[in-house]
Amino acid sequence: MKKYIYEREDWPEFGFDKDSLQEELAQVYLAQGRLFGKISAIGFDVRNELLLNSVSDEIVTSSAIEGEHLDMHSVRSSVARRLGVDLQNADETVPDHYTDGIVEMALDATKNYHKPITDDRLFGWHSSLFPTGRSGIHNITVGAYRSTEVDIVSGPAGNEKVHYKALPGKQIPTEMVLFLKWLDEDSRMDPFIKTAVAHLRFESIHPFDDGNGRVGRCIADLMLARAESSPKRFYSLSAQLLKERKDYYNELKKAQEMTGNICEWIAWFLSCLVRAIETSEVALDAVIQKAKLFMHWRNVPMNERQLLVVNLLFDGFEGKLTSSKWGKLCNCSHDTALRDIDDLIEKGILVRSEAGGRSTSYEIRSIVG
């Protein structure tokens, strides 16, 4: 019978070779320093846009990892309202109570990172994920730890494959007391390494009937905020975990087995964190370029349709922009779309793409300096 991490002799005080993690740890601090150096040199509005994008990405992608898809416009609207960020030229979608609850959970973790993590705080987070008391069609225990046994499985009913047998329900109250005490106590462990260990330990306890992944990543965000002594999240770990979801689950599974090497898990987690920070750095460069372009064209008049499409182009428009797509986006005629496009070409904001093809497409003109 397979044995699991909580049956190890060193559970939950894992023994691992810290020296073997120095290279990965150095890369985290290097990437972090590079990103924060760029952030310190940008204006308030650009910084707020990056913050809004990062927080919104974190919330949407953490749910997407579990197969739940939140509306990005709704999430951004809720985040912007709570952060006091102006959604200029954006679709100010009114979020529902469920979205607001998830946003509140995420922001509580980071804005109040200095506050203790208690049972009651975790129960509040969990309740925001399941306001109806159900996960899908199933009733679950909400706002309290599970008392039943749980297997993490995949595959069709009757032919399931057990990936992990979670810690027995009767042990959860004691394990969570130890876990929460460890989270909030000062230790000599590097804070980024502690974040990696905390995520593994929480997911291995698996204290709730459902929602453990999202609550666990919320704890990770809180720990990262503590590591940086800042409530502002300028990169999204969950967005990177979603990109690497298969590896994420595989690395967790390997670490949760009795023979698993926790050092390998920490090294992978730190490397994933570096990639998340580097992705944010690329996004920051795009935001800075957008700000430069808007500053360059600040005195150029544009109508509402033009502002809408130009913003979409800056924010990562998928595919090629054609006159027909312009018409659909702006709900206008083909002639109106062509007039809008020709006007922006004449003003030097758009250029015809050199790619050619069956349909003429357009893109933002680059500026030098």
H-type helices in the chain, by residue range?
Answer: 22-40, 44-65, 72-83, 97-111, 119-129, 172-184, 191-205, 212-228, 237-243, 245-256, 262-296, 304-314, 323-330, 334-346
Give the bridge partners for 161, in sequence order.
Answer: 154
pLDDT (mean) for 26-55:
91
pLDDT classification of 10: cutoffs 50, 70, 90: confident
3-state SS of 38-65 is: HHHCCCHHHHHHHHHHHHHHHHHHHHHH
Q: What is the pLDDT of residue 335?
A: 94
Over residues 98-140, the pLDDT tens digits come to: 999 999 999 999 999 999 999 999 999 999 999 999 888 889 9
For the chain, give the mean pLDDT.
Answer: 89
pLDDT level of residue 338 (50, 70, 90 thresholds): very high
pLDDT at residue number 153: 78
Find, among 176, 232, 206, 177, the residue nearest to 32 by Cα: 232
| pLDDT over 80 (residue 258) | no
List Cβ neighbours of 339 (8 Å cut-off, separation of 6 or more). Answer: none
Other Cβ atoms within 10 Å of 297 Cβ, number: 17
pLDDT digits (tens, 9 = 90+) for 169-219: 999 999 999 999 999 997 789 999 999 999 999 999 999 999 999 999 999
DSSP SS3 for 257:
strand
Task: Report, at the CATH architecture level, how domain 5-289 is classified.
Answer: Orthogonal Bundle (1.10)
Distance from first CA to last CA of the chain, Å, rounded? 64
- Whether 260 shows a pLDDT value over 70: the answer reads no
Residue ranges covered by each domain of the chain: 5-289, 300-364
Enter the pTM of the model: 0.82
Mean pLDDT for 292-309 is 86
For residue 291, what pLDDT is reported? 74
pLDDT(268) > 60 = yes
pLDDT at 9 > cutoff 90: no
Q: How far is CA 99 from CA 196, 216, 276, in A?
A: 27, 18, 24
At residue 124, what are phi and psi to the nearest 5 degrees?
-65, -45
- In this structure, are residues 218 and 125 in contact, taking their beta carbons and an 8 Å threshold? yes
How many angstroms separate the CA atoms of 91 and 330, rounded?
13
Tell me what pLDDT residue 89 has.
46
**Nearest in space to 145 (alpha carbons), one of 165, 166, 126, 117:** 126
pLDDT bin (cut points 50, 70, 90) of residue 367 is low
Residue 15: CB atoms within 10 Å: 10
For 126-180, how does the pLDDT look when each residue is reduced to its tens digit (9 = 90+)?
Answer: 999 999 998 888 899 999 999 998 888 776 666 777 888 889 999 999 999 999 9
Report the alpha-carbon distance of residue 38 to residue 200 in Å, rounded. Answer: 31
For residue 138, what pLDDT is reported? 87
Residue type, 231: P
Output the CA–CA distances (angstroms, integers) from residue 316 to 81, 231, 286, 287, 320, in the order listed.
23, 27, 9, 11, 11
Instruction: Report cis status (omega within 30 of 0) of the bond before 301.
Output: no
| Reported confidence tier of residue 317, pLDDT bands at 50, 70, 90 | confident
Is the torsion defined by CA of 189, 194, 196, 197 positive or negative? positive
Q: Would you state the pLDDT for residue 42?
A: 83
Domain range 300-364, CATH architecture: Orthogonal Bundle (1.10)
pLDDT at 204: 95
Q: Bridge-partner residues for 134, per DSSP?
A: 139
* pLDDT for 93 beyond 70: no
Residue in the structure block whose two tokens are 């309290």: 144
Asked whether residue 47 carries a pLDDT value surpassing 50, the answer given is yes
